Structure 1
Amino acid sequence: MFRVIGLYLISFLFFLAGVGHFVMDGFFIEAMPEWVPFRPFIVYVSGIVEIALAISLLYKPTRSRAGIWTTLFLLLVFPVNVYMAFFPAQYDVPAYALWLRLPIQFVLIWWVLKVTKP
């Protein structure tokens, strides 16, 4: 039962994060270093990817692969979280929250793998 609740919860969180890329696009664009090209495009595509992953996590035939892709996605966005932690003055978020977010990323990876293993 906890596995099912965890699955729906992580899927919901990813769906919300994906929608957030469109609703709060300015925040996500500013989260990336200025030298990164096509920042708005990357933000919108990553939002679409998060929504697609959220849906794929719920569909049993795609769940296991979606867990792997979600893990890869979390690893790919990790450098942005590190960048934000090193430059907290750019964000309207307490610096400790940005540093706390780094280990939480690995908890999310564990969580995704736990609820999607066959």
Structure 2
Amino acid sequence: MTRHPPAPVRPLGPGARAVAAAFLVSGVVHLVRPRVFEPAVPRALPRPRALVLLSGAAELACAAGLVVPATRRAAGPASAALLAAVFPANVQMAVDGVRDLAHHQSPGAATRAAVTLARLPLQWPLIRWAWAAGR
């Protein structure tokens, strides 16, 4: 029986590196300051704090999985699924940001609304990059 050498590990592409970096930063903030993310949990879901902590841990696991070549094949689709799963929270943040802008005109409200709205279409390239990293 002939043993074939393992296929060379491709370096993580720039898009997947961006996903891993975003997961790393966001995951840490989810765990250290969960209160920041609790309002983003859609109102229909129970136990916002637990969901924020769980998603933070999942983001850190996906970041590590993308960076480690041996786990990248599984981490790519897992990362894409996580990004899709948290999309409703991103929508909730955008809705709340626009509502805050319309009703309060608080300092920074326009910037928050713009950032949360601009972030929504960015989710799709992140999902594609994460998925591609698993191939």
Sort the TM-score into its range (normalised by shorter chain). 0.7 to 0.9
Matched residues in 1 for 2:20 and 2:79: separation? Answer: 10
User: Is it true that 1:12 corresponds to 2:21 in the alignment?
Assistant: yes
Q: Under a length normalisation based on structure 1, what TM-score does the superposition of the two structures give? A: 0.84
1:71 aligned to 73, 77, 80, which one? 80
1:22-101 pair list within 5 angstroms = 22-88=31-97, 89=100, 94-101=112-119
Secondary structure of the residue that 1:4 maps to in structure 2?
coil
Q: C-alpha displacement at 1:117, in angstroms?
A: 4.1
Larger Rg: 2
Matched residues in 2 for 1:57 and 1:74: separation? Answer: 14
User: Percent identity among equivalent residues?
Assistant: 31
CA contact (8 A) 2:26 2:59 kept: yes
* Counterpart AA for 2:119: R
Q: C-alpha displacement at 1:35, in angstroms?
A: 4.1
Q: CA RMSD in A?
A: 2.1
* Counterpart AA for 1:53: C
Aligned residues, how many?
115
Structure 1 stretches lacking a partner, 5+ long: none
1:107 aligned to 102, 115, 125, which one? 125
CA contact (8 A) 2:12 2:67 kept: no
Q: Under a length normalisation based on structure 2, what TM-score does the superposition of the two structures give? A: 0.74
Moved over 4 A (4+): 90-93
Q: C-alpha displacement at 1:28, in angstroms?
A: 0.6
Structure 2 stretches lacking a partner, 5+ long: 1-10, 102-107
Q: C-alpha displacement at 1:65, in angstroms?
A: 1.3
